[in-house]
C-alpha cells in the first residue's frame, strides 16, 4: 500500500528536502507518494512547517500524524483543528549546530574576545580571563537541545547550572526545577536561554530576574525572542548591570532595520542562525516516524499539548 505524504512548507523547502526525504523513505522500504499537492482526504502524513498555508487540519480525515520540520511548535500546537499526533523535530544536525553556536559564544564572552576585536590603540592591556572552573554559567531549558548544550561547557570545566520545568539529572550540572529559577540565576556570569516559548516562559528574563545576575553578566539567547523582556534588557545594558547580550532570536523576525538592538554597542545580533534543521539529518527522523506509524510503533518526539512542547 502506498503512503501519501504531503509536504506542507515553502517552495524553497521543497527544493532542498525532496531528495533527502525520498532517499530516507526508500532506505526504509516504504512505498510512498510525496508531493506538495495531494487531496486532503488522501493524506496519511503531513511534513509541516508552521508557516505553511495549511492552517485548517479538518479536511485531512485520514492523516495519522503531523511531522514538524522545526524544533519550535508554538505556532501550531494550539491549533484547535489539529487532532492527530504532532511530532517536533529533534535531529542530530540541529542539535550539533546549536551546541557549536552556544559553545562558541560562551567561550567568546568568557575569554573577552570582543575587546581584542574592537581595534588596537597601542595600549598593552593584559587582562587575563579566569579559568572556566571559576566562571558561573546558567542554562535555562534542559530539553534535548539544552542538555546537549550544557554538556559541552561541563567538559570545558565551567561551573554549570541548569533550570527546567521538570527535574533533570545531568552529570556535572547543578539542576533546578519549578521554584528554583532564582537560585539558578543568582550570581550567574553567563546565562543561556533555550526554553520553549509558552505562556509560562514569556519574559522569564525581566527586571527582577536580571537583577539576580552577577554585575556585568552576559545573556545569550538562541531560544525564543519572547523569553526576554526587551525593555528590561535594554535598561540593564544601559545601567551597566549587564555587560552584553548576544541575541539570535527576536519578537519580530527579520529584526526591523530601525530596532535599537542593531546599533547598541552592548548587543550582538545574529539572524536566527544558531541552529537550523538540516535536510539530510532531519529527513531521517521524518522517515523513521513514518515507518513507526506504518508498523504500529510509537512515534518519536511527540508534543505534549498541555505543556506546549
The percent of residues above 90 in pLDDT, for the chain, comes to 88
**272 classed as catalytic:** yes
> Contact 222/99 with Cβ under 8 angstroms?
no
* Cα(299)–Cα(14) distance, integer angstroms: 23
* Cα(186)–Cα(135) distance, integer angstroms: 13
Superfamily of domain 92-269: NAD(P)-binding Rossmann-like Domain (3.40.50.720)
CB atoms within 10 A of CB 206: 16
Longest dimension (CA), the chain: 74
CB atoms within 10 A of CB 129: 13
Catalytic residue among 88, 110, 224, 301: 224
For residue 120, pLDDT over 80 is answered with no
With H, G, I as helix, E, B as strand and everything else as coil, classify residue 13.
Answer: helix
Using one digit for the tens of pLDDT, what is the confidence trace for 168-218? 999 999 999 999 999 999 999 999 999 999 999 999 999 999 999 999 999
pLDDT of residue 126: 83
CA atoms 299, 302, 305, 307: torsion sign: positive
Count Cβ atoms within 10 A of the Cβ of residue 81 and give its class: 0-12 exposed, 13-18 middle, 19 or more buried.
exposed
> Contact 247/270 with Cβ under 8 angstroms?
yes
Pick the CATH number of 3-91+277-295 from 3.40.50.970, 3.90.1150.10, 3.30.70.980, 3.40.50.720: 3.40.50.720
* Cα(165)–Cα(259) distance, integer angstroms: 32
Taking the CA atoms of the chain, what radius of gyration do you get in angstroms?
Answer: 21
Among all chains, which residue has been given the C-alpha cell 537541545?
145
Catalytic residue among 28, 108, 264, 272: 272
CA atoms 233, 163, 305, 249: torsion sign: positive
**Closest alpha carbon to 192 in 137, 241, 234, 153:** 137
**109 classed as catalytic:** no
Select the more confidently predicted residue: 11 or 246.
246
For residue 256, pLDDT over 90 is answered with yes
Mean per-residue pLDDT of the chain:
96
Q: Which helix (H) or strand (E) holds 151?
A: helix 144-156
CB atoms within 10 A of CB 43: 23
Question: Rounded to two decimals, what is the model's pTM?
Answer: 0.90
> Contact 207/232 with Cβ under 8 angstroms?
yes
Using one digit for the tens of pLDDT, what is the confidence trace for 40-91? 999 999 999 998 999 999 999 999 999 999 988 999 999 999 999 999 999 9
34 DSSP β-pair partners: 5
* Cα(192)–Cα(187) distance, integer angstroms: 14
Residue limits of CATH 3.40.50.720 in the chain: 3-91+277-295, 92-269
pLDDT confidence tier of residue 141, bands split at 50, 70 and 90:
very high
* Cα(38)–Cα(138) distance, integer angstroms: 47
Q: Which three cell numbers stand for residue 229?
A: 523582556
Please give the average per-residue pLDDT across 6-17, as a whole number: 92
Among all chains, which residue has been given the C-alpha cell 539567547?
221
Using one digit for the tens of pLDDT, what is the confidence trace for 26-42? 999 999 999 999 999 99
Amino acid at each position: 500500500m502506498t503512503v501519501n505524504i504531503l509536504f506542507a512548507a515553502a517552495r524553497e523547502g521543497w527544493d532542498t528536502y525532496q531528495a533527502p526525504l525520498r532517499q530516507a523513505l526508500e532506505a526504509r522500504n516504504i512505498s510512498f507518494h510525496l508531493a506538495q499537492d495531494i487531496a486532503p482526504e488522501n493524506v496519511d502524513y503531513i511534513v509541516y512547517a508552521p508557516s505553511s498555508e495549511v492552517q485548517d487540519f479538518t479536511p485531512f480525515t485520514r492523516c495519522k500524524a503531523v511531522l514538524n520540520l522545526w524544533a519550535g511548535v508554538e505556532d501550531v500546537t494550539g491549533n484547535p483543528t489539529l487532532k492527530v499526533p504532532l511530532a517536533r523535530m529533534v535531529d542530530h544536525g540541529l542539535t550539533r549546530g546549536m551546541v557549536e553556536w552556544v559553545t562558541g559564544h560562551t567561550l567568546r564572552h568568557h575569554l573577552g574576545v570582543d575587546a581584542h576585536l574592537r581595534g588596537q590603540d597601542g595600549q598593552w592591556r593584559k587582562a587575563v580571563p579566569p579559568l572556566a572552573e571559576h566562571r558561573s554559567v546558567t542554562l535555562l531549558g534542559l530539553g534535548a537541545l539544552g542538555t546537549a548544550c550544557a554538556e559541552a561547557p561541563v567538559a570545558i570545566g565551567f561551573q554549570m547550572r541548569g533550570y527546567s520545568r521538570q527535574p533533570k539529572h545531568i552529570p556535572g550540572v547543578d539542576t533546578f526545577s519549578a521554584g528554583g529559577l532564582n537560585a539558578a540565576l543568582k550570581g550567574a556570569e553567563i546565562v543561556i536561554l533555550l526554553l520553549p516559548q509558552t505562556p509560562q516562559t514569556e519574559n522569564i528574563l525581566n527586571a527582577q530576574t536580571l537583577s539576580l545576575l552577577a554585575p556585568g553578566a552576559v545573556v545569550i539567547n538562541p531560544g525564543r525572542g519572547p523569553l526576554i523582556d526587551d525593555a528590561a534588557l535594554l535598561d540593564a545594558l544601559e545601567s551597566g548591570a549587564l555587560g552584553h547580550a548576544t541575541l539570535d532570536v527576536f519578537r519580530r523576525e527579520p529584526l526591523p532595520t530601525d530596532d535599537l538592538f542593531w546599533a547598541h554597542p552592548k548587543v550582538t545580533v545574529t539572524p536566527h542562525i544558531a541552529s537550523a534543521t538540516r535536510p539530510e539529518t532531519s529527513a531521517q527522523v521524518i522517515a523513521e516516524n513514518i515507518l513507526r506509524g506504518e508498523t504500529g510503533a510509537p512515534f518519536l518526539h511527540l508534543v505534549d499539548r498541555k505543556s506546549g512542547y
